[in-house]
Amino acid sequence: MTDKLSNTQVQKAALWLAAQKEAPHPVVPAIRQKFKLSAVDAVVAIREAQLIRGRSH
């Protein structure tokens, strides 16, 4: 994936995850499959989702 495309997918994954009442288990494989991300990008998306959730409270 290109960096720009990867970043867009990471943001989409983060927004999607932040909107979920319960995260899928296990979360990394679920995000990787749903958004076609690498393991590193999935972890970045999880971190971003936590920041999004934190800002909403």
DSSP 26: S
Would you place residue 57 in the very low, low, confident or very high pLDDT band (cuts 50, 70, 90)? low
Alpha helices for the chain (secondary structure H) = 3-19, 27-35, 39-55
Domain count, the chain: 1
* Predicted confidence (pLDDT) at residue 56 exceeds the cutoff of 80: no
pTM score, whole prediction = 0.86
Per-residue model confidence (pLDDT) at position 50: 96
Place of tokens 């749903």: 34
**Tokens, residue 30:** 């679920």
Domain extent at residue 45: 3-55
Q: Which residue matches tokens 């409270």?
A: 57
End-to-end CA distance of the chain: 33
Cα–Cα distance, 31 to 37 (Å, whole number): 7
pLDDT digits (tens, 9 = 90+) for 22-36: 999 999 999 999 999
